[in-house]
Amino acid sequence: MNMSSSFIALIWWVIPAAGLIGALGYVVWVTKFKDNFESETTRSIGKFAEFQNTFRDPNDHTPVNRNDPNPNQDRTPL
């Protein structure tokens, strides 16, 4: 298979151009849009933590294990 020299020259321009466009796109995303995603993620994590807290025993702040036959007992080894 013999590639033409013009096609090979085109590849030497296309690959760096694609890299440059990708890098510029990343810089724009970080500077303009990343904060919006992070604040939504933090808000979502806070809501998930509230949801998890609904499964906790109000008198004991350790997680409740629904599969444990003896929940919320002292776990110190004998």
Tens of pLDDT, residue by residue over 24-55, are 999 998 888 777 766 666 778 778 888 888 87
Compute CA 64 distance to the chain's CA centroid, rounded to the nearest angstrom.
Answer: 26
- Among 1-5, 36-40, 50-54, 66-70, the range with the most confident prediction by mean pLDDT is 50-54
How far apart are the C-alpha atoms of 72 and 78, rounded to whole Å?
16
Bridge partners of 60? 57
Among 40, 45, 63, 42, residue whose Cα is nearest residue 53: 63
> Could you please report the per-residue DSSP string of 47-74?
HHHHHHHTTSBTTB-SPP-TT-SSTT--
Whole-model pTM over 0.75:
no
Average pLDDT over residues 11-25: 94
Model pLDDT, residue 57: 67
pLDDT at 78: 52
